[in-house]
Chains A and B, each alone.
Chain A
Amino acid sequence: MYNFEVEKPTSIADAVAALGAEEAQALGGGQTLIPTLKQRLASPSKLVSLSGIAEMQGVRLEAGTVCIGGATPHGVVASEAAAAYPALAALAGKIGDPAVRNRGTIGGSLANNDPAACYPAAALASGAVIVTNAREIAADDFFDGLFTTVLEEGEIVTEVRLPVPEVANYQKFVQPASRFALVGVFVAKFAGAVRVAVTGASEEGVFRWSEAEAALSRNFSADALEGLSVAPEGMMADIHGSKAYRAHLIAVLTKRAVAAAA
């Protein structure tokens, strides 16, 4: 890697100030950024570690919403959200391996918006609110294509607030090498509406499958999805799966998620 400065502030305000420096870069758990630096594919002047900020740590339940500090590692979510939001905890518990789960954070994952990451599906399906140092952003407005979000330069995800559905389930079909989601589908049933978010599949990144949501809102059963399919156009294709295969998996996994949740 190239040389850089490191700062480890203990408050959000100090972190924001530190990120004001030219070419400064926030460092969450580093599960994407550190390998990128090691390959010399990024050259920030300064890394601002968010791991020392106490107010960005931890999981709490507040009026039917799970609130997770932006710097909370996946492993903590897997254990501490298990009672309040089991589907979310199960998702967190299957990201990467134990080393990744002990370092990687929910804020880092959402800000990075890897098109095959798991957390964006949970945030979008839950109708989460992403809280930053500057504002609150609805998940529906947050994601903006591959590796892109509406976050401004220097803006930090400080907390993620996920309304807890009546029932929910996440189905992840792993890419054989990376074990990221080749396709992942998160189904969340709220009173009155069902939300279905798909990761891993689309060239646009995480998205909601509105036809499935409409059908499931009328009848929350796998049968309601019979005959529904996603068009292969716009899906990603690589050595692990074609567009058609990804589109097919979306329908299969959505049914499985509904069956598991119902």
Chain B
Amino acid sequence: MPKDSDQIDSGIGASPKRREDVRFLTGTGNYTDDINLNGQAYVYFLRSDVAHGRIVSIDTSDAAAMPGVVQIFTGADFESVGGIPCGWQITDKHGEVMQEPAHPVLAQGKVRYVGDAIAAVVADSLEQARDAAEAIMLDIEELPAVIDMKAALKEGATKVHDDLTSNLCYDWGFVEENKPAVEEAFAKAAHVTTLELVNNRLIANPMEPRVALGDFNRATGDSTLYTTSQNPHVIRLLMGAFVLGIPEHKLRVIAPDVGGGFGTKIFHYAEEAFCTFAAKALNRAVKWTSSRSEAFISDAHGRDHVTTIQLALDSDNNFTALRTDTHANMGAYLSTFAPSVPTWLHGTLMAGNYKTPLIYVNVKAVFTNTVPVDAYRGAGRPEATFQLERVIDKAARELGVDPIALRRQNFITEFPYATPVAVEYDTGDYNATMDKLEEIADLSGFAARRAKSEASGRVRGLGVNCYIEACGIAPSNLVGQLGARAGLYESATVRVNATGGLVVMTGSHSHGQGHETSFPQVIAEMIGIDESMVEIVHGDTANTPMGMGTYGSRSLAVGGSAMVRATEKIIAKAKKIAAHILEASDADIELKDGQFSVAGTDKSLAWGDVTLAAYVPHNYPLEDIEPGLEETAFYDPANFTYPSGAYACEVELDPETGKVSIERFAAADDFGNIVNPMIVDGQVHGGIGQGIGQALLEAAVYNEDGQLLSASYMDYAMPRADDLPFYQVDHSCQTPCTHNPLGVKGCGEAGAIGSPPAVVNAVVDALQSMGKDVTHIDMPLSPARVWAAMNG
């Protein structure tokens, strides 16, 4: 298919190469670990090697006397300091607020997971800090670990937090008022399909591990934190206001180049607070760089849901009701946005692409002695999509109907559409993306490919699914009602320089998404100048307006909209300046290709002439407008955006070993309008890679004692290039978002949301084509698991 960018060489719709890649690929990036401050000390965290235990004593006296040791901190040093806050409060189905345990910077009283930080040793070198950590005399009375979620909720189960009533964080019912009608629909159903499944726990594994570097200026009293964050303003507010009591004007948070986030760098972590606190206490910069081993047991994990889903159908195969019962693992403490993931980011998506009239979602969030679990690429939406698209596939097989036809029959076709789970889809065309999928995946050629596989002793399967997701979570007043302790607007300041170049300071943060390339395309298009005249600044609270950062595929839809609004203000003011110089009315001024002209005349003025006039205001309407050309806008969206699509996966199965190989993968997405098709391709490619990783390879596995068995790359299988096929990716189906100025949706998570069910559906298809009575296999579909299912 010809790329839409083939005809467009600049501005919106073009695919210029990513300008940031020059520094990323040539070793000239500036990551947090590249930053070293004069006289900095290093911190090593002594972490618990047991999942649950009472701290009887910590004796640091020998360790403190070791060479190079500056100071050793324990939980006692943080008793007068706030704990790590949670950014979302859920109200349960009984109207009670969730149980919210204290989350100290360093463990106090108990350790609650393998990796829980007990002490922090600050020394002149990292090796000295590690040496001293080994000399700390630790007496921990080991307690039984609570690992399995259902066991954790049993009467009399050991409690992760002694001061809570149980290990239940909340019992959320959604929409509670729908429940009787849902029950009634199930009672009347012609067919009910039930599926129990696990959404496997994952570890994000960004290429760059987390780093925090705290600094303190004794003369000014200013604190600075350099950190690997997706949202430096959020860290400044949470850490400053709620943990350390530092007002924002005395605290600067800088997240420079960040090597991948995938959600796990959204959250405020204890190590950030520690380094900021210790730098002030010691009057010396303090640096922490996570090792890869440490990342496995200290970065927030993702997913980890156990679900029973039921779909009710009438005798014509119309979906009549859906109900789910999910246990969601919170881990030992509530990470920043953990409570929102299995609730508002999951329950609201359960309608999917279908007009199921009645839906009830129950989620029990559970504390266990494991690493905290929070958002990971997709965050709640992959869990929703996986359940829904698996149960529909199972229903189609039980009913003996074509799974695509069953989906089409139940598609929502009229927009806007208010779902029974509290959201309103503004636009979409699910038949269009399915049509496109059938074309690009060459589904009509599948039978021939299956025959060819069979001839070589392999079994081919086809899996198809749809997805819908909600990006750019909003509006702020609504999310406030839902329990968010934050707003979800975005900001941009557009500063035009005297000679016409622009600097855009955005509250969004780029950690691989390509904002430095795609954002200038929008501004260049609006003004009619070259993209090279626009520079993007992000990641420093001192240089950017308060913004909420980047996650949930929100940057272009929300941050880009703020940028558009600020640029509109710039253009309006520039037209006034041009009107003054051209002696015309501002209503008659037109801006095209970087030239201001008076409508119906040949009088014109270049962009640079106007910007120069703004800063050298000799011939300037000083009585009406201020000099200068700089505008800020905050944008709070009216709704989420709802990207959607249809995915197809073809696998080949080795019937002797159970090994699955992905032979073809096609994705037809509707992202609304598209700014940079190449970057969108890349986002989808990466997302599918992570989705295939979840489906075939990745699993964070704990044993019953709470030891993480997959605690290194020896046992945690990341997808590699040869695990992945070449993808057919298409985003020519475009139903623009109706409520943001660019008509854009979001593309960052779609691949990770849409791909796991396609893979599992394909493997089940392959097994059933062999005559195996296999209706489901839990991810990851490792060779051993597939073989066991085949021979079960």
Contacts and interface: CB of A to CB of B under 8 A. Distances in A.
Interface stretch (A152-160, A197-205, A240-248): A240-248
B465 to A, nearest CB: 24
A260 interface: no
A239 interface: yes
A245 B716 contact: no
A199 B90 CA distance: 52
A39 B296 CA distance: 14
Interface string A149-184: 000000000000000000000000100111000100
A245 B787 CA distance: 8
Contacts of A76: none
A252 interface: yes
B581 interface: no
B656 interface: yes
Given A39-B293, A176-B783, A245-B784, A240 B715 contact: yes
A252 to B, nearest CB: 5
A245 B710 contact: no
A173 B656 CA distance: 12
A125 B715 CA distance: 28
B390 to A, nearest CB: 22
A109 B710 CA distance: 24
Nearest to B134: A40
Contacts of A239: 699, 701, 709-710, 715
Interface in B517-534: none
Given A239-B699, A242-B784, A40 B715 contact: no
Contacts of B783: 173, 176, 182, 241, 245
Interface in A181-226: 182
B697 interface: yes
A249 interface: yes
A1 B127 CA distance: 8
Contacts of A245: 783-784, 787-788
A40 B130 contact: yes
A39 B715 CA distance: 16
A198 to B, nearest CB: 15
Interface in B155-207: none
B713 A248 contact: no
Contacts of A178: 713-715
A38 to B, nearest CB: 8
B717 interface: yes
A252 B714 contact: no
A240 B714 CA distance: 11
Nearest to B709: A239
B715 A248 contact: no
Interface in B39-54: none
B784 A177 contact: no
B477 interface: no
B782 interface: yes
Nearest to A241: B784
A181 to B, nearest CB: 13
A2 to B, nearest CB: 8
Interface in A90-104: none
Given A173-B657, A252-B656, A240 B784 contact: yes
Nearest to A183: B657
B657 A249 contact: yes
A39 B292 CA distance: 11
Contacts of A1: 127
Given A239-B699, A252-B657, A177 B788 contact: no
A241 B697 CA distance: 13
A104 to B, nearest CB: 15
Q: Majority SS of interface residues in chain B?
A: loop
Interface string A25-56: 00000000000000110000000000000000
A190 to B, nearest CB: 27
Interface string B120-137: 000000010010001000
A177 B713 contact: yes
Contacts of B716: 177
Contact of B782 (A39, A40, A240, A249): A240
A63 B130 CA distance: 54
Interface in B700-722: 701, 709-710, 713-718
Nearest to A178: B714
Contacts of B718: 177
A173 B783 CA distance: 10
B710 A177 contact: yes
B42 to A, nearest CB: 15
B126 to A, nearest CB: 11
Contacts of B696: 176
Contact of A177 (B127, B293, B714, B787): B714
Contacts of B659: 173
A1 B125 CA distance: 13
Interface string B649-669: 000000011010000000000
Nearest to B713: A177
A248 B784 CA distance: 10
Given A240-B715, A245-B788, A176 B656 contact: no
Contacts of A176: 696-697, 717, 782-783
Contacts of B784: 240-242, 245
A240 B699 CA distance: 11
Nearest to A97: B720
B717 A177 contact: yes
A88 B440 CA distance: 43
A248 B654 CA distance: 14
A117 B656 CA distance: 23
A240 B717 CA distance: 10
Contacts of A39: 293
Q: Which of B697, B701, B717 has the most CB of A within 10 A?
A: B717
Contacts of A249: 657
Contacts of B134: 40
Interface in B243-298: 293
B486 to A, nearest CB: 37
Nearest to A3: B127
B662 to A, nearest CB: 13
Contacts of A182: 783
B787 A248 contact: yes
Nearest to B656: A252
A59 to B, nearest CB: 28
Q: Which of A39, A239, A248 has the most CB of B within 10 A?
A: A239
Contacts of B657: 173, 249, 252
Nearest to B701: A239
A114 to B, nearest CB: 11
A176 B788 CA distance: 16
A134 B653 CA distance: 50
A252 B457 CA distance: 14
Contacts of A248: 787
Contacts of A240: 715, 782, 784
A177 B714 CA distance: 5
Given A39-B293, A40-B130, A242-B784, A177 B656 contact: no
A113 to B, nearest CB: 17
A117 to B, nearest CB: 13
A182 to B, nearest CB: 8
Interface in B465-480: none
Given A1-B127, A173-B783, 19 more contacts: A40-B130, A173-B657, A173-B659, A176-B717, A176-B783, A177-B710, A177-B714, A178-B715, A182-B783, A238-B709, A238-B715, A239-B715, A240-B715, A240-B784, A241-B782, A241-B783, A242-B784, A249-B657, A252-B657
Interface of B: 127, 130, 134, 293, 656-657, 659, 696-697, 699, 701, 709-710, 713-718, 782-784, 787-788
13 contacts: A39-B293, A173-B659, A173-B783, A176-B717, A177-B714, A178-B715, A239-B709, A239-B715, A240-B782, A241-B784, A245-B784, A245-B788, A249-B657
4 closest A-B pairs (Cβ-Cβ)?
A177-B717, A176-B717, A241-B784, A178-B714
Interface of A: 1, 39-40, 173, 176-178, 182, 238-242, 245, 248-249, 252
